Structure 1
Amino acid sequence: MNDRVLSVRGIEVYVEIQGDVHLPTIVMLHGFTGSTRTWQEITRRLQGRFRTIAIDLIGHGKTAKPSELSRYSMDEQIKDLDDVVIQLGLERFTLLGYSMGGRTALAYAVGSPEKVEMLILESTSPGLQGKEERESRKNLDNQLANQIIEKGLTAFVDRWENIPLFDSQKALDEKTRSAIREERLSQSEIGLANSLRGMGTGCQRSYWSELDKLDIPVLLITGEFDKKFVNISREMAAHLPNSVQKTVLGAGHAIHVEKPDVFATMIEEYIN
């Protein structure tokens, strides 16, 4: 594995690259509280057949956690991702994003469809359509960000891992659950708080109206227990001209963690 720290528009961005340069490339973007570590089981299963490039998004993992909030906006993330793509010499690649990383991946694909050969979105949305809905979500994210700063990371993680979205993860084995908790606890208060305030679902613009113009192949993956995102992905599929929607049985929000074999196979079959 090739670990690299890139200088990207004034901040350091951590990237993990695995596989030969001549193999088909998959760029991977994690979700909120995640990092490149979340993709380890998937990259291991895809080894030898794909080149994988996992990126720590701003405020997460080993990437910088600047204090200035403006640096965390979705527009800034798209520019950062494009800089990484240029520095790594990527011309056409598959872009895979989970949850928050999926929103980032979709935003990037809308702006640079000529670079994205295929788009794979796991448990994600194009944002919130109504202004009132966005404001309400923004307020909730701000409250959560304040709690992270005031009460600290451990108190936040204790609460976060017990929200209904992650109920299905309680059935995972002890080793996997410990690894997820460890990854969450390895984050920083300022990084997570600013991520929520800068690129939370309430802050980004809605991409719903852009979907019908995005004619690259799109694979939408959700878990059967994650009813909200199953419905969102079905609605997205109705707007995307070249999409396939898959629901994975026995999984919740984080399919790549809960059903890594199924997830990796799904990706490989779709790309091939």
Structure 2
Amino acid sequence: MNDAVLNRWTTSDGVELAYYEVGEGRPVILLHGLFSSAQMNWIKFGHADRIASEGLRVIMPDLRAHGESGKPHDPAKYSADILVRDLKELIAHLKLERFDLGGFSLGARTTIDAVSSGVQPERAILSGTGVKVLTNWDRRSSFFLEAIDRFDQARRGDPYWLSIQFMRTMKVDRVAAALLLKALGDHPSPEQALAAFTMPTLVVCGSEDHDNGSAREFASALPNARYEEIPGTHMSSVTKPDLGEKIAEFLAAV
């Protein structure tokens, strides 16, 4: 099917952001991972179409500094809560009252931040992440900032090589990406954030994805979660049809 429609809107600080939609029915918002986009995470490999086939309206923003969204180079456009603020404004822009919410990697972290700050989805999906998602950001952001600094020097075999190649593929705006990375940090109250997930929650992660610790332990730490394992690493699991299938099954069943 792959007939997702691109839409644009403007935030309260004047940045134009993009989001894609496919399907009709109960809304579900899906947030992509770092350096990625809605097209890469949700549309290209058929996940959005599979989820929409369950009678759902799939809404997929391109996060600030990503994809078709604005990539300002002004540090003032990157507060610590900027991704959650953009999400809340999109929800208001679309006049959504009842919806599901989820994300992959950075999208999962943003989902956690949003729920802990008062956003109340009926169901949540946390994919491509594990038990260290709230305490691992400073370390991982330092790694990615170093990758940006070494963008033109890294060679095959370098620990930054794969991340840099993905940035090249995605045509990442390195200035904007660095500003966003520097703005976000470890969560100040991890236990409080996890306790906010009283809604049915799916934790789905690749069998070889340990970038943010154990996903199984993560699901056990949440009040109302189930864990599903799919094939793949942090980078390859999004290419597997299993990701869209598990999300679709979860949203259709509850």
Q: By the TM > 0.5 criterion, same fold?
A: yes
Residue 71 (structure 1) aligns with: 77
Shift of 1:227: 3.3
Query: What's the secondary structure of 1:222's corresponding residue?
Result: strand
- Equivalent of 1:191 in 164, 176, 185: 176
Change (3 A) 1:217 1:207: farther
Residue 268 (structure 1) aligns with: 248
- Equivalent of 1:61 in 40, 50, 67: 67
Query: What's the secondary structure of 2:216's corresponding residue?
Result: helix
Amino acid at match of 1:62: E
Amino acid at match of 1:162: L
Task: Give a deviation string over 1:211-261, Cα, whole Å, max 9, x none.
Answer: 124211111111111135461x2232222110011111x31114653312x
Task: Give a deviation string over 1:128-181, Cα, whole Å, max 9, x none.
Answer: 54xxx7665554444334334xx39x989x975636xxxxxxxxxxxxxxxx95
| Pairing 1:259–2:240 present | yes
Residue 42 (structure 1) aligns with: 47
Change (3 A) 1:138 1:189: closer
| Pairing 1:7–2:10 present | yes
Relative to the length of structure 1, the TM-score reads 0.77
Shift of 1:191: 2.3
| Higher fraction of helix | 1
Task: Give a deviation string over 1:68-118, Cα, whole Å, max 9, x none.
Answer: 23423441211111000100111121112011111111111112243x111
Residue 118 (structure 1) aligns with: 123
Shift of 1:6: 0.4
Preserved contact between residue 70 and residue 198 of structure 1 (Cα < 8 Å): no
* Structure 2: gaps spanning 5 or more residues: none
Residue 246 (structure 1) aligns with: 228
Preserved contact between residue 25 and residue 50 of structure 1 (Cα < 8 Å): yes
Residue 217 (structure 1) aligns with: 200
Residue 19 (structure 1) aligns with: 23
| Pairing 1:101–2:107 present | yes
Q: Separation in 1 of the partners of 2:155 and 2:75?
A: 23
CA RMSD of aligned residues (A): 3.0
Which 4+ stretches in 1 moved above 6 angstroms? none
